[in-house]
Amino acid sequence: MSIVSAVLPCYAADTAGVCSALYEMGGMTVVHDASGCNSTYATHDEPRWETVHADIYISALTEMDAIMGNDGKFIADVTAAAHDRKPKFIAICGSPMPMMTGTDFDAAAAEIEARTGLRCFAIHTNGMNDYLAGAADALLAVTQEFAQIREKAKGIGVSILGATPLDFGLSGTVGSLRTWLTENGFSVVSCLAVGQIDLEHAASASVSLVISQTGLKAAQYLHARFGIPYVCGLPVGTLAPVIADALRRSAQTGACAFPCAMRKPGDHVVIGEGIAAGSVAAASGGRVLHPLACAPQIAHPDDLHVPDERSVKEALEGLQPAQVTADPFYRYVLPKGTRLNALPHFAFSGRCFETEIPDLIGRACR
Amino acid sequence: MIKLAIYGKGGIGKSTCTANLSAALAVRGLRVIQIGCDPKADSTVNLLGGRAVTPVMDWLRAHDDDPGEYEEISAVGYGGVLCIETGGPTPGLGCAGRGIITTFSLLERLRLFERFQPDAVLYDVLGDVVCGGFAAPIREGYAEDVLIVTSGEKMALYAANNINSAVHNFEDRGYAKVRGLILNRRNVPGEDAKVRAFAESAGLPIAADIPRSDEISRCEDMGQTVIEGAPDSEAAKRFFALADKLLTR
């Protein structure tokens, strides 16, 4: 019962992470789940649904299909849809019901691939984990599949990794990041996963810039496979020149860097996704509470992992910070007297504060 | 590495055969893991002197989090065999098949195989391949080979045929293959002919022929396999022969 949330909402699920990460990739994403659930993954958790076309499907899993283990229908339906849509690839992923019945998604993907001749891979979601897990696995899968070494960009080419609306909304952060990179003498060779993606060029970069943990696995793959170093951080406020220097240094030395984990002391607390929240904290002074999983190299020793509502409350009561930067829904668990700097997080509060999501680049953080 | 799943009708002697085979392989010098995939959680009791290891499902029920190390959900039995039981939900509730999948996922997170470095992993699986959970041991690279335990009893052969057909259904998926039968004799009339007829029709060899033996019962009363308690018995010799056959494959 320790993980029960009485006040706070939960973060978007791993399934939504997959759909968001692959939304603009030109593939077909199929969630094996009951009919109607597509509105959760591809509309409630997806601000692009009105403006950007995508092939996100739900398998319309029925009670009897689940009981009978009718994988054949799922495979046949995906195959038929793929013949109609002719996608670049097919990604299939699961939800709670196929998790319970033990659907073998790798085997299903192999059968779909054999029948369609299209690359098909399974992303192992079950709807029980947060969006970071699904999005990170999805970006890793497409990077492994499609990233190639093309002609290296002149100067320092940068791949942006981990840009999804679940973390940054559609407020302009990613566009501003592109502009900031260009103004600082870098060239953007790819951006996973919004706008001009250029996925095939991701391995042509001199360095990857990871702006949320949804891009971390892809960055680690590009580092291991192609020797491309990565820098974790978002160039917000005073952290911007630090990140620019880190990108230049990493491109030159091949070493990875984690500016988002460089904290100045302060009485400010930031709650959110590790890299974005860490960057805000690094720019403003203070510490981070991580409600989501956080890779060790992203976190600072003073950070606290707060995986449930009770631990968030206990941490805040213990710290008694003067101000907290977090999604507005965290207002309800703040200690008396603590001031909230609203930083809406789409993966947490969805459309509730969508219009208030800021363009973080260049923004003063306190 | 030997990666073997053992299936068969309920009560046919799967756990007896699996534990004796694990013990025989251990005596031959292999590092062996035996994973009981049955809510009854009694697969490894005769490797552990009659003691029971805490089943994984019981551990998870009692804790809010995963165990930190595989040692917390395993016990070392005769010959150094690492014994694990999936266990299951409260009888009459939940989903036992899902419990098996959850256990396997946990063992991966605990990096059991990388850390223990086994030479042989034996999965002792409840009854039929009744659902996705009970197929888990034969997919995703867990087991590569399946042996089906049967006697000459009609229902045992019926179950063996069902299991063989179920595994055949997964041929396109690269799952484990049925490699043979273990004839665990009940001394029913015409047993030899009935089992041989089934084996021939199914195209399966009889990999081992275990005699009905009071030694097995006597050893089990002491919480032992015949490999431990009666190593010179005929039954023990047959299990050693099966172990040697697996080693030479």
Q: Report yes or no on A333 lying in a domain.
A: yes
Task: Tell me which chain B residues have a C-beta less than 8 angstroms from the C-beta of A3.
Answer: 64
* C-alpha dihedral sign at B90, B92, B93, B95: positive
In this structure, the answer to whether residues A105 and A20 fall within a common structural domain is yes
Domain CATH code at residue A313: 3.40.50
Q: Please say if B9 is a catalytic residue.
A: yes
Q: What is the CATH number of the domain that holds A207?
A: 3.40.50.1980
Residue bearing the bigger pLDDT, A205 or A151: A205
Task: Give yes or no: residues A108 and A152 share one domain.
Answer: no
pLDDT for residue A362:
58
pLDDT in tens, B186-228: 999 999 999 999 999 999 999 999 999 999 999 999 999 999 9
| Annotated active-site residue in B9, B38, B145, B194 | B9
Is A365 inside any structural domain? no
CB contact under 8 A, B174 and A107: yes
- Put simply, whether A104 touches B (Cβ < 8 Å) is yes
Q: Which of B132, B140, B170 lies nearest to residue A103, judging by beta carbons?
A: B132
The answer on A155 and A45 residing in a single domain is: no
Which of A260, A278, A293 corresponds to the end of one domain?
Answer: A260
Q: Which of A234, A260, A286 is the last residue of a domain?
A: A260
Per-residue confidence at A313, pLDDT binned at 50, 70, 90? very high
Question: Which residues, including other chains, have CB under 8 Å from residue B241's CB and lie 6 or more apart?
Answer: B208
Q: Is residue A364 one of the residues assigned to a domain?
A: no
Q: Do B98 and A104 touch (CB under 8 A)?
A: no
Which site among A3, A101, A125, A126 would you substitute to test the B interface, given the most B Cβ atoms closer than 10 Å to its Cβ? A101
Q: Give the total number of structural domains in chain B.
A: 1
Provide, as residue numbers in chain A, all residues whose Cβ is less than 8 Å from the Cβ of B172.
111
Task: Test A102 with B64 for CB contact under 8 angstroms.
Answer: no
pLDDT in tens, A86-112: 999 999 999 999 998 889 999 999 999
| The predicted structure's pLDDT at residue B174 | 81
**pLDDT tens by residue, A341-350:** 999 999 999 9
What is the Cα gyration radius of chain A? 20
**Which helix (H) or strand (E) segment is A188 a member of?**
strand A186-192
Q: Residue A185 belongs to what domain range?
A: 146-260
Residue A336 lies in a domain: yes
Residue A110 with chain B: CB contacts under 8 Å: 173-174
A301 shares a domain with A237:
no
Q: Å from B184 to nearest chain A CA?
A: 31
Residue B172 above 90 pLDDT? no
The whole-angstrom distance between B132's CA and the closest CA on chain A is: 5
Predicted pLDDT at A3: 74
- Do A68 and A172 lie in one domain? The reply is no
Within this chain, do residues A113 and A174 fall inside the same structural domain, yes or no? no
List residues of B whose CB lies inside 8 A of any A CB: 64, 95, 97-98, 101, 131-133, 135-136, 139-140, 170, 172-175
Active-site annotation holder among B14, B38, B124, B145: B14
Q: A191 and A73 share a domain?
A: no
Q: Is the dihedral of CA A57, A60, A66, A70 positive or negative?
A: negative
CB A24 within 8 A of CB A193: yes
* A200/A90 same-domain check: no
Q: Which domain holds residue B180?
A: 2-248
Q: Strand ranges (DSSP E) for chain B?
A: 2-8, 32-37, 75-76, 82-85, 120-125, 145-150, 177-184, 206-210
Taking the C-alpha atoms of residue A226 and residue A203, their distance in angstroms, rounded to an integer, is: 7
Which of B136, B170, B175 lies at the smallest CB-CB distance from A102? B136
Number of domains in chain A: 3
Q: Same structural domain for residues A125 and A207?
A: no
The predicted structure's pLDDT at residue B45: 97
Confidence of residue A366 (pLDDT cuts 50, 70, 90): very low
Tally A–B CB contacts below 8 A. 34
**Residue A252 shares a structural domain with residue A346:** no
Q: Which residues of B touch A103 (CB under 8 A)?
A: 132
Asked which of A109, A144, A179 is the last residue of a domain, the reply is A144
B40 is catalytic: yes
CATH number at residue B141: 3.40.50.300
Among A102, A104, A107, beta carbon nearest to B98: A102
A286 sits in the region (left: phi over 0; alpha: psi -120 to 50; else beta) called left
- Paired tokens of A188: 């953007």
* Position A363 pLDDT exceeds 60: no
CA A225 from centre of chain: 21
- Whether A137 and A109 share a structural domain: yes
Contacts of B135 in chain A (CB under 8 A): 102, 104
Across the interface, whether the CB atoms of B64 and A2 are under 8 A apart is answered yes
